[in-house]
Structure 1
Amino acid sequence: MVVSYHRPTKVIVDLAAIKENVSIEVKKQAGKRDVFAVVKANGYGHGAVPAAKAALVGGASGFCVATLDEGIALRESGITAPIIVLGIVEVAWLPLILEYHLAVPVATLSWLEEAALYMATQALTGQLLLHLTVDTGMGRIGFRDEAEILVAIEKIKENVNWVFEGIFTHFATADEADQTYWHKQNQRFKKVVASLPEKPRYIHASNSATALWQEDCGNLVRLGIAMYGQNPSGGQLEAPYLLRPAMSLESALVQVKAVPAGEGIGYGKTYETPATEWVGTVPIGYADGFVRKMQGFKVLVEGQPCEIIGRICMDQLMIRLPQAYPVGTKVTFFGQNQDKEITVQEVADYLGTIHYEVICLLSDRIPREYLNTEGILS
């Protein structure tokens, strides 16, 4: 997708906030656990490479990504720290896994068998870093049979260049007030770890929510949404320390006009002016990830809440203004505007979803502008 630099719509990312959020968690761990920054999905929409570099300055010792390509992108940006790919990678991509020195998950015995055959037939050499993934109740990927895990370890040992580097699981309810299911999953994982004939370098289960509110598990924290300044629970639980949101979304008015009473606004005429109203047009739409269900939400102009009226178009939307404002006046969708603020959580609540989805949906068409880059990107 072409990045649209030549319009006022932009995502603004404060790298100092990311650095600070990571730094607080690193200090909290006090050397007991490594903190790996999770920068999958383009750093949750913030930009994977800038977010990763900010996290490094904040003290992160490694990274987690979801796909092989995300790991390669970090390596090609010059990052040499450990990188764990959390999603299953096909055996056919073993040459890339080895070339870029990425750790990958193992969820089945068949994957190990296929990998051994592929490496032998292709005469591949190099150190293969493997993390066994355990399904303790997420139902996503991972071993459920304890005996199979022990077999998997033996299969890894049989290959001289393979390294049993880690074992991990993922919690389904660490961000909820009711900890019953979290404790069930945690006990299952502890039981598996206790049964291991030898412990790998990394034992990890702590996501952001676990790090904030639960008992820390293993010796590695996978810090995700919290490093971007968002509360993993969406406000159900109070964060034990201040999380600084790193992202804001803004644009500007490109046209302002007085529309007489009885006129329709937008596709389907879902809004009709009850009286003469000042209507402003803003260049952002659902192609940018600002979805149609945001109709009726209020954005900020000069510190004033202004309702989105009519259906949101692919590339533009309209807002009702309290008065005529000059073209070029800033419009804030979330973030600070004068003495007022709209949070990402407010947007998520309006949509009936989670803040993860709101920020990850923001498309690559919107340019990212970075603040406080000194010592991070320079």
Structure 2
Amino acid sequence: MSSPAPSVPLPPAGAPERSAVVDLAAVRANVRRAREVAAPARLMAVVKADAYGHGAVPVARAALAAGADALGVAHVAEALQLRAAGVDAPLLAWLHTVGTDFRAGLAAGVELGVSGWELAPIAEAARALGTTARIHLKIDTGLGRNGATEAAWPGLVRAAAAAEAEGLVEVVGIFTHLAVADEPERPETAQQLARFRAAVDAARAAGLRPATRHAANSPGLFTARDQERPEDMLLDMVRVGVCLYGLSPFADRTPEELGLVPAMTLRTTVSAVKEVPAGQGVSYGLAHVTDRPTTLALVPLGYADGVPRAATGGPVRIQGRTCPVVGRVAMDQVVVDLGAPGLAAPEHGLLGAEAVLFGAGENPSATAWAEAAGTINYEIVTRVSPRVPRVHVDGAPAGAGKEAP
């Protein structure tokens, strides 16, 4: 007697139950687009925070293959992970603590950002290794985070010039970070760039000859051409992150309008389907109660996977329809209201159907999830947790295609 046919579709053997599918072809296309906009400035691809959750090593390789000139990370530890994977491109790390292993960074050929106090331990590490540290001095032109203040800048450039004269450091760059470039109508960006020009002039007056000036982030890159002097924004190099992943840094412009392709698709499959009457409470606190008979789908992704707990109403695409999450996001799952009763019958094939929270094309966007959670799209992709496997593909749709090496 033969076995009955399965009533639900079976995934390919070994396929993850849930995954963040990262299309490296999209990353390469976004790098090429950024280079096109930045030209003739060079491009630093920022791959900090595991490449905004996309996987630092494969994304770094894809970005370099598409023409990125350098890579940027926040921490030396991130840079060392790239070096250990064989990534040998120019690489800058700029956010340090008193526990940062500067010797390891210098031994691995990592360039280091210097905002002030770091200069002395970096110089000592260079002395101990018998090498010259390649450093980028950072000036705080208005963001109020790291970077030397305007008052401290003259002292920093004098100290850097003295260390350079000893052969301990080489000042190869000067940089700053923009605060409101994603709001191009605001005057502070022009003010920051003016302060940056003055800081570069002061460094040169102290005898420094940095070859690379960089200020533009992703929004700065895409608004540079709207300025009277685009070169004051683009400078020698742009240092961009979120646009490389196909996300827009602007509230009022889509990735498509910028010529970008979202690279990550967060997906799983429907794990349960049920019919419920009007008056059915949903999820913790019963904050949602159905106002009509409907069909609910259980989707096994929750806040432990990086879905924001605050994102009730976030969209999920199932079988060509986009429906909202209802009730509170739980640790491991969300509930989606499919909008009509009678859909739990087997012939509808919803059990085991793919459920996409965000991605490219007709899928919901990371920005839509950001709006539901009251945050930004950067956070949505970056917070996808390690419990969700990253599956790197090359030009293939979500859930299919050849995995990239």
* TM-score by shorter chain over 0.5: yes
Instruction: Choose 148-157 or 64-73, whichever is displaced more.
Output: 148-157
The answer to whether residue 56 in structure 2 is matched with residue 34 in structure 1 is: no
The answer to whether residue 29 in structure 2 is matched with residue 16 in structure 1 is: no
In the alignment, the residues of structure 2 paired with residue 258 and residue 193 of structure 1 have an alpha-carbon distance, to the nearest angstrom, of 66
In the alignment, the residues of structure 1 paired with residue 123 and residue 299 of structure 2 have an alpha-carbon distance, to the nearest angstrom, of 55
In the alignment, the residues of structure 2 paired with residue 242 and residue 13 of structure 1 have an alpha-carbon distance, to the nearest angstrom, of 18
- CA drift of 1:273 comes to 3.5
The answer to whether residue 180 in structure 2 is matched with residue 173 in structure 1 is: yes
- CA drift of 1:76 comes to 1.1
**1:129 match:** 134
The two structures have a TM-score, normalised by structure 1, of 0.90
Query: Which amino acid in the other structure matches residue 11 of structure 1?
Result: A
**2:6 match:** none
Matches within 5 A, 1:204-353: 204-214=214-224, 215=230, 216-235=233-252, 241-321=258-338, 322=340, 323-324=343-344, 325-326=348-349, 327-335=351-359, 340-353=362-375
User: SS state of the match for residue 292, structure 1?
Assistant: coil
- CA drift of 1:119 comes to 5.5
- CA drift of 1:284 comes to 0.6
> Which of 200, 209, 212 is equivalent to 1:202?
212
In the alignment, the residues of structure 2 paired with residue 331 and residue 376 of structure 1 have an alpha-carbon distance, to the nearest angstrom, of 20
In the alignment, the residues of structure 1 paired with residue 285 and residue 326 of structure 2 have an alpha-carbon distance, to the nearest angstrom, of 12
Aligned pairs, how many? 368
User: SS state of the match for residue 96, structure 1?
Assistant: helix
User: SS state of the match for residue 215, structure 2?
Assistant: strand
User: SS state of the match for residue 8, structure 1?
Assistant: coil
Query: Quick check: 2:280–2:290 contact (8 Å CA) kept in 1?
Result: yes
In the alignment, the residues of structure 2 paired with residue 115 and residue 14 of structure 1 have an alpha-carbon distance, to the nearest angstrom, of 38
User: SS state of the match for residue 175, structure 1?
Assistant: coil
**1:358 match:** 380
Query: Which amino acid in the other structure matches residue 217 of structure 2?
Result: N
What CA deviation, in whole Å up to 9, does each residue of 1:194-240 have, x standing for no partner? 22133212211111111111223421111211111111113269987
Query: Which amino acid in the other structure matches residue 331 of structure 1?
Result: A
Query: Quick check: 2:44–2:68 contact (8 Å CA) kept in 1?
Result: yes
Task: Assess, with a 3 A threshold, how the Cα gap between structure 1 residues 111 and 86 changes in structure 2: closer, same or farther.
Answer: closer
Query: Quick check: 2:315–2:369 contact (8 Å CA) kept in 1?
Result: no
Instruction: Choose 53-62 or 196-205, whichever is displaced more.
Output: 196-205
> Which of 167, 184, 187 is equivalent to 2:194?
187
**2:4 match:** none
In the alignment, the residues of structure 2 paired with residue 287 and residue 162 of structure 1 have an alpha-carbon distance, to the nearest angstrom, of 44
What CA deviation, in whole Å up to 9, does each residue of 1:9-53 have, x standing for no partner? 2111111111011112223444x3221100011111111111111
Query: Which amino acid in the other structure matches residue 368 of structure 1?
Result: R
User: SS state of the match for residue 294, structure 1?
Assistant: coil
> Which of 45, 52, 67 is equivalent to 2:53?
45
What CA deviation, in whole Å up to 9, does each residue of 1:52-73 have, x standing for no partner? 1111111001100011111111
In the alignment, the residues of structure 2 paired with residue 64 and residue 23 of structure 1 have an alpha-carbon distance, to the nearest angstrom, of 17
What CA deviation, in whole Å up to 9, does each residue of 1:283-340 have, x standing for no partner? 1100111022122333211121222222211111211223224311011111258xx4
Instruction: Choose 293-302 or 79-88, whichever is displaced more.
Output: 293-302
Query: Quick check: 1:57–1:376 contact (8 Å CA) kept in 2?
Result: no
The answer to whether residue 150 in structure 2 is matched with residue 140 in structure 1 is: no
- CA drift of 1:137 comes to 0.3
In the alignment, the residues of structure 2 paired with residue 98 and residue 348 of structure 1 have an alpha-carbon distance, to the nearest angstrom, of 38
Task: Assess, with a 3 A threshold, how the Cα gap between structure 1 residues 68 and 116 changes in structure 2: closer, same or farther.
Answer: closer
Task: Assess, with a 3 A threshold, how the Cα gap between structure 1 residues 97 and 203 changes in structure 2: closer, same or farther.
Answer: same
In the alignment, the residues of structure 2 paired with residue 111 and residue 43 of structure 1 have an alpha-carbon distance, to the nearest angstrom, of 25
* Runs (5+) with no aligned partner, structure 1: none
Query: Which amino acid in the other structure matches residue 238 of structure 2?
Result: V
The answer to whether residue 111 in structure 2 is matched with residue 103 in structure 1 is: yes
What CA deviation, in whole Å up to 9, does each residue of 1:257-286 have, x standing for no partner? 223444332222222334443221111100
In the alignment, the residues of structure 1 paired with residue 110 and residue 255 of structure 2 have an alpha-carbon distance, to the nearest angstrom, of 35
> Which of 348, 370, 378 is equivalent to 2:392?
370
User: SS state of the match for residue 11, structure 1?
Assistant: strand
User: SS state of the match for residue 342, structure 1?
Assistant: coil
Among all aligned residue pairs of Structure 1 and Structure 2, give the percentage whose two residues are the same amino acid: 33
The two structures have a TM-score, normalised by structure 2, of 0.84
In the alignment, the residues of structure 2 paired with residue 101 and residue 84 of structure 1 have an alpha-carbon distance, to the nearest angstrom, of 9
Query: Quick check: 1:284–1:315 contact (8 Å CA) kept in 2?
Result: yes
In the alignment, the residues of structure 2 paired with residue 296 and residue 240 of structure 1 have an alpha-carbon distance, to the nearest angstrom, of 25
